[in-house]
Amino acid sequence: MPLVLMTLLLTRPVSPRRVNLTSLHHVARIFQVRPTLWVLVAVNVLPLVGVLYFGWKTFDVVFTYWCENVAIGVINVLRMLTCNPDVEQLSDSEVAVADTAESNGPPSPDKIRNLRRRLAQRGPLVGWLEKLFLIPFFCFHYGMFCMGHGAFIFSLLGGPERGEPTNLDQVFGSSRSVLHGPLLLTVGVLAASHLWSFIKNYLWGGEYRRVMLMTIMFRPYGRIVLLHVAILFGGIAAQALGSPIWMLVLLVAGKVLMDAALHVYEHQTLERPVLTTA
């Protein structure tokens, strides 16, 4: 059953009559060509160790994933700093990101060609000026986003002993008070896995040449909205039931599957062949 669920999330739909053989083949193929996916799945299982051997409750699991979000934001700043798109390697959809004019549909082939020419004529100074504005903006906006998310977690799942932080200093101050021992180790390993993916896929794999700066800036938000809305609803349900182990196991398993799906989709998007517009 987990293999079938992972296939539905990681690959395009397959015929029901082929799901048994095809699911095994597709999952095996995905893990074969994406060693970073092995790392991601392995480190995402670590919260299960906390649940089964260290008595973690709902707050500990959800808080771990919130800390992971903070680490993702820091690494995203590194992505933005090193982003250096090559017009020849950008897909048409990425080139269209540079289209600032309002339109009712995707840009025409002629418009894509014009956008490519315009991007090719830009000097490196323009790119650094964009970074000079967008990176501080991302740090402020994403920091506020994480602050609101963290305050919500502490107030809803932390209980009276955690307090109810209402500003950035209180959120991170409360975080430091609970971030120790196995929880600190788990967060560190999760952060290291994202750093490894940044080095392996983004730098070494050349993704920094196939993506626009605006795409990179907005990417973490989609992950938070999709993944953590599901986690928060699951966490609220688990908290209401008294944090039973089976519920926390389901919460972690669901996060692993969704994270794997998002990971594969993100990197498949950047590996698609460039659509040349004749």
pLDDT above 60 (res 217): yes
In the block, tokens 């989609």 appear at: 222
Tell me which of 4-13, 92-101, 159-168 is least confident.
Answer: 4-13
Percent of the chain residues past pLDDT 70, beyond the cut: 72
Give the residue-averaged pLDDT of 157-173: 55
Of 25, 1, 33, 43, nearest in space to 259 by CA:
43
Give the residue-averaged pLDDT of 124-139: 92
Q: What does the buried/exposed string (b/e) look like for 24-62 if buried means 16 or more CB atoms within 10 Å of the residue's CB?
A: eebbeebbeebebbebbbebbebbbebbeeeebbbbbbb
Strands (E), 197-237: none
7 pLDDT band, cuts 50/70/90, is very low
20 pLDDT band, cuts 50/70/90, is very low
Return the pLDDT at 112: 84
Return the pLDDT at 267: 66
Return the pLDDT at 202: 92
Cα separations (Å) of 232 from 182, 193, 228, 255?
22, 23, 6, 11
**pLDDT tens for each residue of 59-93:** 888 889 889 999 999 999 999 999 999 888 888 88
Q: At what angle do helices 46-53 and 58-82 cross, to 10 degrees?
A: 160
**pLDDT tens for each residue of 222-276:** 777 776 777 777 777 877 777 788 888 888 888 888 887 777 777 676 665 444 4
What average pLDDT does the chain have? Answer: 76
pLDDT above 60 (res 131): yes
187 pLDDT band, cuts 50/70/90, is very high
pLDDT above 50 (res 9): no
**pLDDT tens for each residue of 89-113:** 888 888 888 776 555 567 788 888 8
